[in-house]
Amino acid sequence: MEHFQQVEPFDYVIFGATGDLTMRKLLPALYNRLRMGQIPDDARIIGASRTELDREAYVARARDALKRFLPSDILSPELVERFLALLNYVPLDSSRQSEQWDSLTSLFTKAQPDRVRVFYFATAPQLYGSICENLHRYGLITANSRVVLEKPIGTDMATATAINDGVGQYFPEKQIYRIDHYLGKETVQNVLALRFANPLMNAAWSGEYIESVQITAVETVGVENRAAYYDTSGALRDMIQNHLLQVLCLVAMEAPDSLEADAVRNAKLAVLKALRPITDATAATETVRAQYTAGMVDGKNVPGYLEELGKPSATETYAAIRAWVDTPRWKKVPFYIRTAKRSGKKVSEIVVTFRPSATTMFGTTPARNRLVLRIQPNEGLDLRLNVKNPALDVFNLQPANLDTSIRMEGGLPFPDSYERLLLDAVRGDPVLFIRRDEVEAAWHWAEPILEAWKHDKTPMQTYSAGSYGPEQATQLLASHGDTWHEASE
């Protein structure tokens, strides 16, 4: 696998090491990178969390997690042992000062000072500042240290500022890696390749040719055991303020001069700043919010959100927004963003619908060209063109789909989005991470929508679990003569 280059030896300290994210995503992702030959055998992964465990007990949990979350055909006993040998564990309440920190610092006393050190915060974001303060107090921050911050960076502008200030007091911005796992997805990165490496696409990529863009990320899962967290968040904070706005940025941005981190991030920032504000006055026509009620998903009866939560709530599990990017390129192009829990299926995709052809020579208006970029599942793209219907002598048109799956060599499954990002932090490449000003610009746009919702400017709708959302979301598009693209089409 010559394209997977080994990174230099590193120490990865994961705070929140017994949590769901670490077990479900981070350890399996690191195992996979070891399997690909990217992780040297003298790398160290150090778990830290409040749970009192010794190394052996932690390794046993990690072993179970690999078994549970990775397909058995990629778990070779020899590789699993090599991976587990990299693990250490320190019981530590990381937001407090205590002698527990000595166990962590002792692991570093003999480490070379310039060895890469990554601190991954998979804990509650309100702890980020105090963990940084302790990393500083116990002398753990070096010039080659990086800190990876999981979302959510705040629940509004004020809390985001507090988190960013807290971390920024101890780490300069260039050492801060705010992760958004959507940027680790192949098809999301492919937006750049598709747009800028293909003059054909690049030439047509503006409101002159594009009529609308839809960005969808809907899933079948409900909130289940995450209800307590989710109820403080909701669909807008959980998916749109971060993941879907990042996707929108890649679709809408001007060409960066290079793939250097700040060039790309400046281009994304310009899009975020050009988003037309949605206010109390426009929220009712530009946004839809809803909660799922009981229904059927994947053939099973599932309860409604309020039943799962066990109390009344004004938190949305569905959001659809018509956004506008006020730049010359995107004049008159609505960007429809939609996300849902307990949808009929799990789909993330970008749908670009082109304006109709002006030709009258065929007697009918040809179907609109449409490009669907499938982020998941079945990564790839589908371009609808018009061709002549060969069954007829008269010149009738029929749609033809150029459907391309993007596959890994040898039919291997795509790497999980965390895999690349975890090692980008080791490599010191922040291009796929979010800069502070992007987070703030995203809150600047999202916060007034949350405010409008708080003031009930957009009524809360319902949709049955397993359906494609409330009727009002259909109307949001119908007013522009559009319909949602359903992946079943």
- Write the DSSP assignment of 69-90 as a string of letters: HS-GGG--HHHHHHHHTTEEEE
Burial group, residue 451, by CB count within 10 angstroms (0-12, 13-18, 19+): middle
Min separation Cβ 409 and ligand BG6, Å = 23
- Give 217 or 421: the residue with its C-beta nearer to ligand BG6: 217
Q: Which two tokens stand for residue 216?
A: 């969808």
Min separation Cβ 262 and ligand BG6, Å = 25
Provide the terminal-to-terminal Cα distance of the chain, rounded to the nearest Å.
37
Q: Which of 49, 348, 467, 472 binds ligand BG6 (CB under 6 A)?
A: 348
- Give 219 or 262: the residue with its C-beta nearer to ligand BG6: 219
Any contact of residue 319 with ligand BG6 (CB under 6 A)? no
The whole-angstrom separation of Cα 313 and Cα 223 is 13
Inter-residue contact 244 to 217 (CB < 8 Å): yes
- Give 186 or 219: the residue with its C-beta nearer to ligand BG6: 219
Inter-residue contact 235 to 469 (CB < 8 Å): no
Q: What angle do CA 21, 24, 29 make, to 5 degrees?
A: 100
- Give 238 or 438: the residue with its C-beta nearer to ligand BG6: 238
The whole-angstrom separation of Cα 357 and Cα 489 is 22
Identify which of 246, 218, 296, 188 has the alpha carbon closest to the alpha carbon of residue 488. Answer: 218
Give residue 279's identity as a one-letter amino acid code: T
Min separation Cβ 181 and ligand BG6, Å = 6
Q: Which two tokens stand for residue 348?
A: 């993330």
Give the residue nearest to ligand BG6 (CB).
Answer: 238
Inter-residue contact 177 to 145 (CB < 8 Å): no
- Residue with tokens 């302790």, as numbered in its chain: 134
Mark whether 243 is an active-site residue.
yes
Which 150-169 residues touch ligand BG6, going by CB under 6 A? Answer: none
| Residue 208 backbone phi and psi in degrees, to 5 | -65, -40
- Residue with tokens 């047509």, as numbered in its chain: 204
Any contact of residue 94 with ligand BG6 (CB under 6 A)? no
- Give 226 or 355: the residue with its C-beta nearer to ligand BG6: 226
Q: Which residues are annotated as a binding site for substrate?
A: 181, 185, 219, 238, 341, 346
Residues 6+ apart with CB under 8 A from 455: 280
Min separation Cβ 382 and ligand BG6, Å = 19
Inter-residue contact 329 to 323 (CB < 8 Å): no
- Going by the DSSP 8-state scheme, the letter that residue 325 receives in this structure is B
Give residue 36's identity as a one-letter amino acid code: M
DSSP alpha helix (H) spans, 138-260: 157-168, 186-196, 199-204, 227-230, 235, 245-252
Any contact of residue 211 with ligand BG6 (CB under 6 A)? no
Which of the following is catalytic: 3, 136, 243, 444?
A: 243
Q: Which residues are annotated as a binding site for NADP(+)?
A: 50, 151
Q: Which two tokens stand for residue 242?
A: 């971060």
Q: Which of 34, 217, 249, 337 binds ligand BG6 (CB under 6 A)?
A: 217
Min separation Cβ 317 and ligand BG6, Å = 10
- Give 129 or 222: the residue with its C-beta nearer to ligand BG6: 222
* Site string (231-250) toward ligand BG6, x via CB under 6 A: -------x------------
Any contact of residue 316 with ligand BG6 (CB under 6 A)? no
Q: Which of 133, 156, 219, 451 binds ligand BG6 (CB under 6 A)?
A: 219
Min separation Cβ 451 and ligand BG6, Å = 22
- Give 43 or 422: the residue with its C-beta nearer to ligand BG6: 422
The whole-angstrom separation of Cα 278 and Cα 179 is 26
- Residues in the interface with ligand BG6 (CB under 6 A) total 5
Min separation Cβ 462 and ligand BG6, Å = 19
Binding site for ligand BG6 (CB under 6 A): 181, 217, 219, 238, 348
Task: List active site positions.
Answer: 243
